[in-house]
Every structure is written in C-alpha cells, then in structure tokens.
A and B are shown apart, each in its own frame.
Chain A
C-alpha cells in the first residue's frame, strides 16, 4: 500500500510540474513571441524600436485592444461576441452625434448603447438559450445597418476640442490612448483574477454544469460578461471617433474576428476556462507589430498583413492543441 502511495505521489508530482510548464507556455508564450518579434523587427528596421514608432503601434492597437478585453472575458466564459466589430462602428457614429453635447455625452452614449446591446445579446443567449454565434452575428449585421442609417458613410465632428485631446493628447510624454489601454488591461486583470466575478467566469468556462452545481449564478454572470464586452466596444468606438474626429460607420470592421484571434494567440483557450489578460494584450500587440512591419517594408501590400496574422494564429492554435493534449495526458 505504501509503495502504491509513493508511486501515485511521484506520478502526481510529474503531472503537477508538467501542468506548471503547460500553464507557463499558455500564459507567457505570446509575450515571449512578441518581444522576440519586436527585437527582430528592430534589427531589420532601425526605426522600428524608436519610441515614437512603438507609441504609434500601441495607439493604433488600442481600439482593438479595448475590444479584445471584453472578447477575452466572453471567450474564457465559453462564448463568442461577434457583435463588437459593428458596435465599434456604431460607437463612433453615436460619439459624433453626442460630441456637441460635451465630452461626457460623447463617451457615455456609445458605452450605454454597448451595454444595452450586450444585455440583449446576453438575455437572448441565456434566457432564450440561443447560440452565442448566431445571436451576436445577428447583432453584428443589425448594428452595422443602424450605423449606416444614422451616419451614411461618415459624420464629421466639427469641433472635437477636449474630446479630441482625450484621444490625441499625451500624459508625461505617453499618448493618452496608450495610458488608457494599459490602465484598462490592469483593471481587467484585477477583475478577472481577483474578484468573485472573475472566479465565476473561469468556473463557467471550465465546466458550466459544475459551476451551476457549485452555486455560481451562471445566467447572471453570462449576461454581465456580454454587457462588459458591449460596453468596452462602445468605449473603443468613442475613443476612435475622438481620434479620427469623425464617426465612421465602417470603423471596427473585422474587429470581431481579430479580437478572437488576438485572444487565442495570447493563450486564451477557445473552448473556455483558461486565459490571461497579459496574454490577450500580447496577442493584440503582436497583430499590431505585424501590421507595422508590413508597413515598414512598404513595397508589400496589405494582403501580406492578413497572411502573416493568419500564420501566427495558426501557429498559436497548433501550440494550443499540443498543450491541450499534454493536459489531457
């Protein structure tokens, strides 16, 4: 009997150390790749590592970055939110409409509408038991239509003023959008890892039925998470409008899939239950670096950007499935 116990103990110790390695690759792999990619780009293009260029990369990635926060929560929860792309576009339009009424109105209106969209998505998914894919796809189409209806192609903000400076100003030499992005990720990490809500999100994504049996209010948490995603997409839209001084109905197109790609590249398990905010941020920035490098080369068309992003995503998924096999073993 005691021999059996020791043997079981050794096997468990092995399983534990393997789990730790798997977890480390999962959560920190993307940032390692990001650093390596950035340094390599710096070697080839001396301008790449210039603080101005790095700031540009993060600024350009900040809108997708905010969207990816919400998407990461939804994916860890075990769902999808495809509505966020159109919500960004609608958000820019709403911000443009509200801008004459002040900064607060321009910021809050898109967020409020995003919250409402998330609420409707969440209610349909939870109460009507509809598939997240279909519900949010419907929202994606409808919101796009709504944005075009409201603004046509675009709606210029005549006098952006403070609203414009919010996005384009800087603080201690760092662009405001960079500050906002990093702050948002820090808060999101706190929310995910250090609150009961975050623990519930992981639990539902890890095993929904078990979470329910353990007393987690699954429905409530799900609805709240879609609301969070919608609100952040609205915020991203507002900031993008401030950045561009206009509302663009086509803004944010493709963000719904890019944000999922960023999360997955960052080690968020597409089947839910596993993921980190640092990973998601790394994924977003990696996509940003790819875009920047392609632009640096100049002679390459934007098509190469998609090609490279796709390759990284595929790589991430291959690594993920390898890790998943490890965890099953």
Chain B
C-alpha cells in the first residue's frame, strides 16, 4: 500500500471536519475522492499534505506511520498536491516554474539557463506536452498550467499525487491532454488521488471511488461496482424533504398563457467560456424556479452571466419582455433584474456601515435631492422593508455586523428589492444561516413570488431547492439537462435526474426547461 489513513479525525472549533476516515491508495492506481462542499475532501487533503495535523488517527506511507508538519515535508517524503487554483508564478517562464528552487547551476552559483530549458523540454515531452519551456506561464491556458504543476511535483519525486479538481476550468482539448498525462503517471506507478465533481470524468479515469459526506466515508468501491445513481445518492444523502410544499398548489393554477408580459426572465442560448453552455430558460411572474445541479455544475456562473457580471460569449437575456442589449450589472438593475450573490461577505455586505446604509446602497439617487441624501426618505424606505421582511435590528443605524446571518441576508434582499425589480435571482440565499432563519428567508422568497416577481433561486442543498421551487431546471456541466415540476416530489426524484444527467442520458422527460 502506497498511502493509507487509519481513523483520521480532525475538528475545527465546534466543527467535526473529519471523523474516523480510513482511506488507501495503491501505486499505479487512480482513486477518485468525491463529495459535496463541506464533505471533508479539502480537510483530508490538508492532512495528507501536512498543511494541518490530524487530531486522531494515523497516516502511513509505504506501511510506515508518518507525520508531516509542512507541505515541504510531505513533498520530500513523496506526497504532493496540485490545487485547483494554480500555485505557480504566472510572470515567470515555464522552465523557471518547473525548476524553481532547484535550478541547475554552473560554478555552484549561476543558473545554467540553457540546461534548465533543455531539461524542462525533456520533462514536458515525457508527458507529451509540446510546450516551449521559455514561454511565460501566464500566456498558457489554465489547463496547461495545471499540467505543468503536475509535471513539477512528479519530477520532484512525488509518488502519491493529489489532483484537486483538475478539470474544473479546462477546455475540451485540455481535458484530453490531462487524460494523457494521467495515463502516463499510472504507467509510472504513481498513485493518484483524483478529486472532482465531474462524474463522467471520474468514471472514465478512476479505478476506485471513495465518497465523503459530513466528514465520513459513506462509500468506497471499485468504479465498476458503484453505479452512478448510488454514487449521487451517497454524495447528497437521502434525507426526505421534511417540509410541506403548501405553496406549490397555490401556484399550480397560475399557469396562464406565456404572454410576453407574463415572462419575467427569458434566457436564450447563453454561453460563457466553458462554464455556461447554451443555457435557455424562462421564469414567469409569480413563479419560483430552482436551479438544481451538483457543485461545479455552473449554477453560480449561470447567475453571474445572466446578470452581466460575467460577459456572455453568446445568447440573450430579456427581462419583462425587454432585451438587455449590453450585459452588465448596472444595465441589468435598470432593466429590473436584481441579483443576490452567494458570497455575502465579499460581494454583499458593507461591514463598516449601518443597516440603513447597507439597505439603500443601490438606490442612493432615488432618496437624494441635489446629491444630498434625505435621511427622512431613507429612513422611510428602511422602515418599510424592515417591517415587510421582518428584519430584526436594533434600529436603522445599528451596524450591519450586529445582525445575525439571516437578518443580514434579509437586508441584502431588501437592498435588491429597493431597485423595484421584476425579477430576482438568489444564489444560495440561506448559505451559512441557521435553520430557524432559513424558514424566515424562505417565507420572504415566497412573498416575493406572491407579489408577482419572478424568482430564480439555487441552494447548495438539493432538498432546499426542491422545497422552495415551483419548478426545477437541472444543470450539469454548464448545460440544461432537464426540468420538472416539483409538486408532490421530493429530492429522491431529483436525485434520479441528476444521476441521469450526469450519465449523459439527457432525457428531459418532464418537458423542456423553458
């Protein structure tokens, strides 16, 4: 056995990130490590590479217990990771990056550039990468950069290599190159831990699959004996949706004719890089549409492209029947499209400012006269929304950071509503919010639909999307692969579709998404 863990335990404060994880990797094996966000994959990688120390259990390399106190120590012993965000120096040449810290030298001092370039060329050729080593790394695609990262760690003597989401940003051609490199590594007897959300990739590459959920191993089997449906079920869990979807019936009757005015949002053939591929969907007024998909399926990217935060490569977006000609956030807001980012901390809240200032940040012109903000108008507006959304705050001037996560989120929803939109997009609106507050946010979202707004929503928890939405649009690898009405369904039905979509059967059995 090349690398093995026995009963690994790791806690961060109150969070049990890993509990009793036993895992092993053989030489020449490609072992897929899967799981949704927060399942413990990253923690396991950090323990294996010496970034963190385990609280319990042991790590064995070649059958001997080891303890790494830094990535450097792990690398020296032969365990290295290549991360999704590329850890190389973009402004330096490929050869510089490959040989950083161990440049061949003349007279023991001066770097022998000619030899370094030659050795780099030979190394790249071994993995069938025809790249001029003198090129600046930055000018290569992200995929190639990642492959160069792999070449570097292997040439440094790594025998167990962890590829952390190697293909989440690759083009098709680059994926093929990666497959070639992986095959070479397998022949060289190097053990690979392959972390990815892409089911089709894992099935193509991996000999074995291990699934983590909530910090524990929930499945570990040879790839051939683990069918997709069971894999997806293991990743997401099979808990039944507890809450009743009482609102679904209410909206069932609203299926009027698809007149222009009734459509709040129409997206056609929208594409962005390789992450959003020809997405088409519609949201009617008064309807809550859920975007369902595994992590990495392109949910957030789809939102951002619709909103114009990412510049689409093709396709159109219309709000309330009017096309957004030049996609950018300011234009989207003007046309009545509001968006709430998943990342509350870095893209939402102004931490230094008060509740009122946060709430009205997007509509300052509307509450100002001659450029001076009218406190009275501002406070009127704040009072209205604080009341209607049930924000619990000491007052309009309370610092936003004094509010709970759920109430902060309500303030951000209120900020989006201040612009009087026809259509609201909410990316994971209950992320990091406790259970009680979640129900509150759900109530608010349903209230928006009841007032005739179109709502497009997603969540990192599948059950939540199913519970909240009238209709689902299923995304897989940036494509719409299916859709269904959620009335009377639970997440198990959706699991089947997700597994099916990942399997490439692409059967939109419940009618087109739009």
Q: What is the interface of chain A, defined by CB distance below 8 A to chain B?
A: 1, 4-5, 8, 12, 15-16, 18-19, 23, 190, 193-196, 198-200, 202-203, 206-207, 209-211, 213-216, 273-274, 327
Contacts and interface: CB of A to CB of B under 8 A. Distances in A.
B111 interface: yes
Given A1-B176, A8-B141, A8-B171, A210 B111 contact: no
B172 A202 contact: no
A318 B218 CA distance: 56
Interface of B: 71-72, 75, 83, 86-92, 96-97, 100-101, 103, 105, 109-111, 113, 135-136, 138-141, 152, 171-174, 176
B458 to A, nearest CB: 29
20 contacts: A1-B176, A4-B173, A5-B173, A8-B141, A194-B110, A194-B111, A195-B109, A196-B101, A199-B92, A199-B96, A199-B100, A203-B92, A206-B91, A206-B92, A213-B87, A214-B88, A214-B152, A215-B72, A215-B75, A216-B101
B100 A200 contact: yes
Residue among A12, A202, A206, A213 with most chain B CB within 10 A:
A213
Contacts of A273: 89, 91
Contacts of A199: 92, 96, 100-101, 103, 111
Contacts, number: 86
Rank and list the top 8 A-B pairs by shortest CB-CB distance, nearest first: A206-B89, A210-B87, A15-B139, A213-B87, A19-B139, A16-B139, A5-B173, A194-B110
B139 A12 contact: yes
B92 A202 contact: yes
Contacts of B111: 193-196, 198-199
A195 B139 contact: no
B471 to A, nearest CB: 34
A4 B96 CA distance: 28
A296 B372 CA distance: 52
Contacts of A12: 139-141
B103 A207 contact: no
Contacts of A215: 72, 75, 100-101
Contacts of B86: 210
A327 B88 contact: no
Given A195-B109, A215-B101, A4 B90 contact: no
A206 B88 CA distance: 9
B87 A274 contact: no
Nearest to B156: A215
Contacts of B135: 16
A153 B171 CA distance: 67
Contacts of A206: 89-92
Contacts of A8: 141, 171, 173-174
A316 B176 CA distance: 43
Given A195-B109, A210-B89, A214-B89, 12 more contacts: A4-B171, A4-B173, A5-B173, A12-B140, A12-B141, A199-B100, A199-B103, A207-B89, A214-B152, A215-B72, A273-B91, A327-B138
Nearest to A198: B111
Contacts of B113: 194
Contacts of B91: 202, 206, 273-274
Contacts of A203: 89, 92, 100
A94 B111 CA distance: 37
A209 B92 CA distance: 15
Contacts of B173: 1, 4-5, 8
Contact of A209 (B72, B87, B97): B87
Contacts of A19: 136, 138-139
Contacts of A5: 173
A18 B176 CA distance: 27
A239 B222 CA distance: 73
B143 to A, nearest CB: 9
A211 B72 contact: no
Contacts of A196: 101, 103, 105, 111
A128 to B, nearest CB: 21
A231 B427 CA distance: 54
B136 A16 contact: yes
Contacts of A213: 71, 83, 87
Given A196-B101, A196-B111, A200-B101, A207 B136 contact: no
A211 B97 CA distance: 10
A154 B87 CA distance: 52
A202 B89 contact: yes
A190 B107 CA distance: 14
Nearest to A20: B136
B109 A214 contact: no
B129 to A, nearest CB: 13
A327 B139 CA distance: 9
Contacts of A202: 89, 91-92, 96
Contacts of A1: 172-173, 176
Contacts of A207: 87-90
B139 A210 contact: no
Nearest to B131: A12
A23 to B, nearest CB: 7
B172 A4 contact: yes
A326 to B, nearest CB: 11
Contacts of B136: 16, 19, 23
A214 B140 CA distance: 19
Contacts of B172: 1, 4
Contacts of A200: 100-101
Nearest to B106: A194
Most central of A23, A202, A203 by chain B CB within 10 Å: A203
Nearest to A214: B100
Contacts of B88: 207, 210, 214
Given A196-B101, A215-B75, A190 B89 contact: no
A207 B90 CA distance: 8
A196 B106 CA distance: 12
Contacts of A214: 87-89, 97, 100-101, 152
Nearest to B75: A215
A195 B110 contact: yes
Contacts of B87: 207, 209-210, 213-214
B320 to A, nearest CB: 34
A213 B164 CA distance: 14
A252 B248 CA distance: 76
B21 to A, nearest CB: 24
Nearest to B99: A199
Nearest to A3: B173
Nearest to A5: B173
B361 to A, nearest CB: 27
Contacts of B89: 202-203, 206-207, 210-211, 214, 273
A297 to B, nearest CB: 40
Contacts of A4: 171-173
Contacts of A16: 135-136, 139
A209 B88 CA distance: 9
Contacts of B75: 215
A198 B83 CA distance: 25
A211 B89 CA distance: 7
Nearest to B143: A8
A203 B103 CA distance: 13
Nearest to B103: A196
A200 B86 CA distance: 17
A12 B135 CA distance: 10
A53 to B, nearest CB: 37
B24 to A, nearest CB: 25
- Residue with the greatest number of chain B CB neighbours at <10 A, chosen from A1, A23, A215: A215
B111 to A, nearest CB: 5
